[in-house]
Amino acid sequence: MAAVVSASSVSKDPSSDFLPRTKSPSFSIFDSKKNLGKLEQTHLGLLSFCKSNQAFTLRAAREPPGLTQELSFKKLENVEVQNGHDQFIQIKERFLSFKRHRYLENLEHYQSLAKAQAPKVTSLSILLAFFPMEQFLVIACADSRVCPSSILGFQPGEAFMVRNVANLVPPYENGPTETNAALEFAVNSLEVENIFVIGHCCCGGIRALMSMQDEADPSLIGSWVIVGRNARLSTKAAASNLSFDQQCRHCEKESINRSLVNLVSYPWIEERVKKGTLSIHGGYYDFVDCTFEKWTLDYKNSSKEEIGKFSFKNHAFWS
């Protein structure tokens, strides 16, 4: 049996421009020595190309239908890398992976989300089918190490996310901010059933709060973290004998509790909490030991009038 290799048969699409070309149409391994030499040159050219383009070798074997597209991406990436390190290359690959393995494999789910703002969708049957868990508004720190979608597995459509420095919730009387604008939208328009404030260890925002010497700090960071002044004051009073790092850890949890109490200073939040249609929860993620604590504000047994007198229930520790 004669084996025939054609230089033009490797790819019939435009991506074949990437391949080494030869003017010879095809060769039999039983042809003359002259033709055999040309065949060897063709093989060597292909081998050289594959060695310098390893992604071509692997992807060609695994995903033949997408070879043209993969080669185009590889060529673009090579140009970008030559011009300097481009971090968007990896981000692009993550997006394409998401599209292939998540979006396209769950197309009906994502199309349903496109019809209505998450976390509520127009069809209750779709909601129950895709989102068996209750709907959440999550308020978390902007720190990249504590992404709620990563550590708690929230999927698109399950939670309305708000992230700011130190996961703070300002009281209603402080006036409009982007955080309480998001609160109003999530509670009144999306009608979420749970608000979950998530803090974490080693928080730079809380450390900045605890380090402040003057509450009139003119910086943008200082003017924001001062929202947690009550947590700072109560920490200084209760943990003055502890090291600064321990005080910061104490304040990280105390600021979560203060934010939970601040939430019920919003009339439309308090009304829903009274009716039992909205619950308020706190959470604390320790990424050093990889543990998580969760608790719920016990509104009925809490007192907004007496500072520091608020109760919590359903405390859980996950490790």
Answer whether 222's CB lies under 8 Å from 259's CB.
no
Structure tokens at 74: 């590889």
Q: Is 141 marked as a binding-site residue?
A: yes
Order of strands across the sheet that contains 136-141: 159-164, 136-141, 194-200, 279-286, 291-297, 312-318
| Cis, bond preceding 64 (omega within 30 deg of 0) | no
> Does the annotation place 203 within a ligand binding site?
yes
Query: CB–CB of 136/192 below 8 Å?
Result: yes
Q: β-pairing, 159-164 with 136-141?
A: parallel
Q: In angstroms, rounded to a whole number, what is the distance separating the alpha carbons of residues 236 and 211?
A: 11
Q: Which secondary structure element, helix H or strand E, spans residue 195, and what is its range?
A: strand 194-200
Q: Is 214 annotated as a binding residue?
A: no
Q: How many helices (H) and strands (E) does the chain have?
A: 13, 8
- Asked if 179 contacts 139 with a C-beta cutoff of 8 angstroms, the reply is yes
Let me know if 295 is exposed, middle or buried by CB neighbors in 10 A (0-12, 13-18, 19+). Answer: buried
101 in a labelled binding site = no
Annotated binding site: 141, 143, 200, 203
Annotated binding site for Zn(2+): 141, 143, 200, 203
